[in-house]
Structure 1
Amino acid sequence: MPANGHTGAFELLKRSLGTLALFSLLAGCASHDIDPRGYDQTGTASYYGSRHHGKRTASGEPFNQHGLTAAHRSLPFGTRVRVTNMSNQRSVVVRINDRGPHTRGRLIDLSRAAAEKIGMLRSGTARVRVQGLSD
């Protein structure tokens, strides 16, 4: 025991700092979903297809390259968004069911079917506008 008799206070401080560190870690792992109402962003879209077909998405459902779905970093699963290709004005409504894109500088990853609807299969990427839809 230290000569000054502050063992109890020191132990309490250690426990408090440990608890604070644990909560900070858990908060960092929490989902940072955003409110889709009024969501309107412009950026680069890419798509993913056959290589991921049938694999589990972050939402738990299997990825279907033929479905109209997409991956977004923070929009809640189930959110419907309109994605418009800025070069040809073609648009598609997709449902967010995965997390991504995992490539820096990308806004959204579309399924192959969604990419085909807006005419971006050949280029692989497109400048798009993503707008949240209210149900």
Structure 2
Amino acid sequence: MSYEIMLKRIYAPIEDHDGTRVLVDRVRPSGLFPNLLALNEWYPEIAPASQLCSQYRQKKISQSLFLERYKRELKACPDKLLPLMRFARAGRVTLLTAAREIEDSHLPVIKELVLSALEEEDASDREFCSSPCLAHTLPTSQR
């Protein structure tokens, strides 16, 4: 199955084709009133840990190390992906951030892991899980 997950700055214009709009930053962006954001969900729990963000902002770690650690952080708690997976199954999702450079932010990591988890789940749904699932393949005399 194909899923659409878009990445966008929270300050970009709201568009009809955004689908479900989910802010995935730990804090709400300053200067914007919540009612003007047209958010369907604010999901701060999936944002990188404060300490990790702080290290990155203070240039104590490189961008690649930040992204690697963040990916490890999410893989350690795969349940954090579930709400976004549900939204993606329902239709287009737009992940939002206040970060200036989206491609250098945490959004591509979230998108990659959500799509990967959806693909994995879809693949497991296509597998037979027990002998009753295979019963239809047996001759009638063996059922």
Q: TM-score, normalised by structure 2?
A: 0.24
Larger radius of gyration between Structure 1 and Structure 2: 1
| Greater helix content | 2
Greater strand share, 1 or 2?
Answer: 1
TM-score (norm 1): 0.25
